[in-house]
Amino acid sequence: MTESSAFSRRDLLKTSATVGAVVAASGISTRAFAAGNETIQVALVGCGGRGTGAAANALETQQGPVKLVAMADVFENRMSQSYNALNGRYSDKMDVPEDRKFIGFDGYQKAMDCLKPGDVVILTTPPAFRWVHYKYAIEKGLNVFMEKPVTVDGPTSRKMLELNELAKDKNLKVGVGLMCRHCEARGELHDRIQNGEIGDIVLLRAYRQAGPTGSAFAPPHGDDMSELMYQVKNFHGFLWLSGGAYSDFLIHNIDESCWMKDAWPVQAKGSGGRHYRGKYVDQNFDNYSVEYTFADGTKMFLEGRTMPGCDKEFASYAHGTKGSAVISTSAHHPAKCRIYKGQNFVDSDLKWEFGRKEPNPYQLEWEHLMAAIRNDKEYNEVERGVMASAVTSMGRMSCHTGRTITLDEIMNCDHEFAPQVAELTLDGDAPLIKDKNGNYPIPMPGLKTKREY
């Protein structure tokens, strides 16, 4: 992507405050893993379903010996479930005694302290904590795999970009869990589109329409845990933790579509609403519709819905002046990418299909990361991860405020959802406060127009 086709990294960084001077001064560098024979140690920070899956992918890599040596979470039962699941399948690659299982908001530090420079930490907590954990990983000289989204607002996007400059200076290898970028079918489709097989892209369409998903529908808080722990448990329901259902669920469709265009949109105009929330108290809308616009005027339409009983679709499409393409067919894998000579996706117009069995992109992203570590190849996906996260936040903010939002505005927005996230403790207060009726602040388009809540 050229500097002219997207908001440049230089422009993003010039708005950032300097952070992490201690990182730059630490002087830690990575170590090489000669000939692929030395064991790479891994720590898992965030032991939910995605973290457990990422750890399994790490242990299954074919690039050389790997061992899981530490785990951290804020919920003991979640850690136990994750450990038992991993140990049941990879007992020969597990070395996590009780004294290397850490509970608490400071557990990430203790888990990373078990590693040596050049080892790998998996960051799969809710994204609110991403920049805090990434900063410490850089201090320790660790290679990193982090889940998407990597940011949820403008201030954290700026922090991550500046921190990443320090990671690159240390030659750290960093993967971001936008695994569709590692899909072989999508990769070939991208090359064919860039070679002009569907002509110039004039329209992109993306859909994730399903029933209630994840913890996006948060029930009223009971008396079984603290307010903070309740919000963390239901992290998809709260914007400070995850960017809400919009950011956590729709980012893949947005990212894969932007990849085919080889550009990031510069503005978003969206709408949505809360229709079937019932007694749920989360901050989400249950439907989102966004028109993204690229610098050349091309449009991308995104539809997200979490309503039961409605038609379901989980796919992305590209339309060009000479034909059209299916970017993804149903969920993330397999993509079943195809190109048609017309716009109707009918069999008689099929021009190309990937056809072969598709390797799992969740595994491929780990093979690529570990190969880069073993061979000391430059590898850093954070800038792209931040841009995908920021573009996603741009669309979300437009829906939540009722205004057209530009990429420049979201990147320079001063509303940081949880500025004290680095100081949270198990018995401390939550960044989001409910009212006397047990309700949390929600987006009100047209009424709250400067902030999302």
> 35 exposed, middle or buried (CB, 10 Å; 0-12, 13-18, 19+)?
exposed
Is 179 a residue whose pLDDT tops 80?
A: yes
In this prediction, residue 32 carries a pLDDT of 57
Residue 92 CB burial class (10 angstroms; 0-12, 13-18, ≥19): exposed
Q: How many C-alpha atoms does 237 have within 13 Å on its Cβ side? A: 23
> Which of 149, 280, 138, 163 has the alpha carbon at shortest distance from 215?
280
Residue 277's pLDDT band, with cuts at 50, 70 and 90, is confident
Asked whether the predicted pLDDT for residue 239 surpasses 90, the reply is: yes
C-beta of residue 308 within 8 angstroms of C-beta of residue 189: no
Tokens 């230089």 sit at which residue?
10
**Numbers of helices and strands, H then E, in the chain:** 14, 15
CATH 3.40.50.720 range(s) for the chain read 3-180+363-380
Of 176 and 5, which is predicted with more confidence? 176
Contacts of 390 (CB under 8 A, 6+ apart): 151, 154, 157, 407, 410, 411
Per-residue pLDDT, 33? 60
The SS3 assignment for 120 reads strand
| Predicted confidence (pLDDT) at residue 300 exceeds the cutoff of 50 | yes
Read off the tokens for 197.
């097989």
DSSP H helices, 356-404, are: 361-375, 382-401
pLDDT of 245:
96
Type and span of the H or E element at 254: helix 244-261
- Percent above pLDDT 90 for the chain: 89
**Is pLDDT above 80 for 21?**
no
Q: Which CATH architecture has domain 3-180+363-380?
A: 3-Layer(aba) Sandwich (3.40)
DSSP 149-164: PS-SSHHHHHHHHHHH
CB 114 within 8 A of CB 70: yes
Rounded distance between C-alpha atoms, residue 290 and residue 404, angstroms: 10
Contact yes or no for 248/214 (Cβ under 8 A): yes
Could you tell me the CA-to-CA distances from 79 to 71, 99, 104, 219 in Å, in that order?
7, 13, 11, 23
Judge whether residue 30 has pLDDT over 80: no
Ranking 221-225, 301-305, 374-378 by mean pLDDT, the lowest is 221-225
Can you give the pLDDT at residue 8?
39
Give per-residue pLDDT as tens, 368-410: 999 999 999 999 999 999 999 999 999 999 999 999 999 999 9
Q: How confident is residue 418, by pLDDT bands cut at 50, 70 and 90?
A: very high
Q: Is the pLDDT of residue 174 over 60?
A: yes
**Nearest of 63, 48, 3 to residue 371 by alpha carbon:** 63
In a 10 Å sphere around its CB, with 0-12 CB exposed, 13-18 middle and 19+ buried, how is residue 117 labelled? middle
Residue 213 confidence (pLDDT) above 60: yes
Q: What is the widest separation between alpha-carbon atoms in the chain?
A: 63
**Tens of pLDDT along 435-451?**
998 899 999 999 999 99
HEC letters along 285-323: CCEEEEEEECCCCCEEEEEEEECCCCCCEEEEEEEECCC
pLDDT band at 7 (very low <50, low <70, confident <90, very high): very low
Average pLDDT of the residues of the chain: 93
Instruction: Kindly report which listed range (14-18, 81-85, 242-246, 283-287) carries the lowest average pLDDT score.
Output: 14-18
Cα separation, 164 vs 380, whole angstroms? 9
Q: What is the pLDDT of residues 122-132, one digit of tens each?
A: 999 999 999 99
Query: What is the band of 276 on the pLDDT scale with cuts at 50, 70, 90?
Result: confident
Q: Domain 183-359+392-423 sits in which CATH superfamily?
A: Dihydrodipicolinate Reductase; domain 2 (3.30.360.10)
pLDDT tens profile 69-98: 999 999 999 999 999 999 999 999 999 999
pLDDT band, residue 224 (cuts 50/70/90): confident
Rounded to the nearest 10 degrees, what angle do helices 184-194 and 244-261 cross at?
Answer: 50
Beta pairing partners, 155: none
- Is residue 53's pLDDT more than 90? yes
Q: Is the pLDDT of residue 269 over 80?
A: yes
Is the backbone of residue 355 left (phi > 0), alpha (psi -120 to 50) or beta?
left
